[in-house]
Structure 1
C-alpha cells in the first residue's frame, strides 16, 4: 500500500510540475451502461446458476448415501460398510474435482467470463484511449479500480466522454 501511495504521489508531482492533464473514468459505471455487458453478465449468471445446481444435486446424492448408510448400518457387515464408505468417498472426490473444474482457478466459469467480458472491456479501453488522445490527457485513472481517490473534482471526470465515444451517451446531456 505504501509503495502504491509513494508511486501515486511521485506521479502526481511529475504531472503537476509539467502541467500535464489527467482525468478519471468510472469503468464500472460505463460497463453498466453497455447492453452487451449486461447480456454477457446475464449469460454468465445463467451458466453459474446451472453449474451451482448441478453441484447441489451431487451434494444431495452424497448426503442421501450417508443417510442410507446410517439407516442400514446395523444390518451391514463390516465389509459392506467399508464398501459403502469407499463409494461415498469416491463421490465426494468427484464432487470436489467437478467444483474445481468449474469454479477453480482457470476453471470453466473463469474461462467463460473471460471469453464474454474481455471483448466488452477491450471496447471500453479503446474508447478511453481515443478520449485521452482527443482530450490530450497524459494520465487517466480508473475510479472503479484499486486506486483509491478520496477526492475527485468532477471537471476531471471523463466518464461521459467515454460513454459518448461508445455511442451510449444520454442525448439530453451536453458534454462541455
Structure 2
C-alpha cells in the first residue's frame, strides 16, 4: 500500500533563505513506521478486512461451483427453457462475483479506501513530527529516504530519523537493529543502517 509516503519539502515553514548554504536532512519514514504501534495496529486492521473480503469472494465462487455441479447433474432432465434460465442465473452470479471482486480489490476500491482511512493517523503523526524537527533544527529541506526519490548516497550526519522517533516517543535505540534493504520496499524498513545518532548539523 504505502511505498515510502512522502518526499517532504518544508520550505514554507522558514524565513526566506539567505545566500548562505541551505540546511537539509533526511528521514527514513519506513523505518519509523515499522516501530510505531499505531502503524502496526493499522496493518492488523487492514489484514482483517482483506481476509474478510477475500473470504466473501471465495464463498461467492464456491456457491457458483455448487450451482454448476447441480446444473450438470440435472441437465438431462431439464427442458430447453429451464436450461436457459439456469444458465442465465449462473451468468448473473458469475458477474456479481466479478463485480464484487473489482469493487473490493480494484483500482481505488474498498480495500484502497480502507487503507487510506486506517493509515491517516500514523501518517499525520509522522508528518507533524517531521515538521517540528525540521523547524527546531532550522532545516530548509527534509527528504524521505524511503520514497521513490533516489538517494544514491546519504551521509549519516544528515540523518534526522532518530530525532523524529524521539518526537514520536519511540525507542531510538531500536534503530541499531535496522536491516539493510532496498529503499522504497513496502514490507521492510528501507535504507542503509545508521547506528550513530547525528551530532552537529551544518
TM range (shorter): 0.7 to 0.9
What stretches of structure 2 of length at least 5 have no aligned partner? 1-16, 176-195
TM-score computed with the length of structure 1 as normaliser: 0.82
1 CA distance for matches of 2:50 and 2:96?
Answer: 19
- Which residue in 2 is equivalent to 1:159? 161
Shift in Å at residue 22 of structure 1? 1.2
What stretches of structure 1 of length at least 5 have no aligned partner? 1-14
- Which residue in 2 is equivalent to 1:87? 89
Equivalence map 1:42-53=2 (5 Å): 42-53=44-55
Shift in Å at residue 18 of structure 1? 4.6
- Which residue in 1 is equivalent to 2:73? 71
2 CA distance for matches of 1:82 and 1:54?
Answer: 27
- Which residue in 1 is equivalent to 2:101? 99
- Which residue in 1 is equivalent to 2:111? 109
1 CA distance for matches of 2:133 and 2:125?
Answer: 12
2 CA distance for matches of 1:111 and 1:98?
Answer: 15
1 CA distance for matches of 2:94 and 2:173?
Answer: 56
> Which of 30, 36, 39 is the aligned partner of 1:37?
39
Once superposed, what is the RMSD of the aligned Cα atoms?
2.2
2 CA distance for matches of 1:91 and 1:53?
Answer: 16
Deviations 1:11-46 (Å, cap 9, x if unpaired)? xxxx9x851111111111111100011011101101
Matched length: 161
> Which of 49, 55, 58 is the aligned partner of 2:57?
55
> Which of 24, 27, 31 is the aligned partner of 2:26?
24
2 CA distance for matches of 1:170 and 1:141?
Answer: 19
2 CA distance for matches of 1:67 and 1:74?
Answer: 13
- SS of the aligned residue for 1:20 comes to coil
- SS of the aligned residue for 2:172 comes to coil
2 CA distance for matches of 1:49 and 1:168?
Answer: 30
- SS of the aligned residue for 1:136 comes to coil
Normalized per residue, the structure richer in helix is 1
Confirm or deny that 1:140 pairs with 2:142: yes
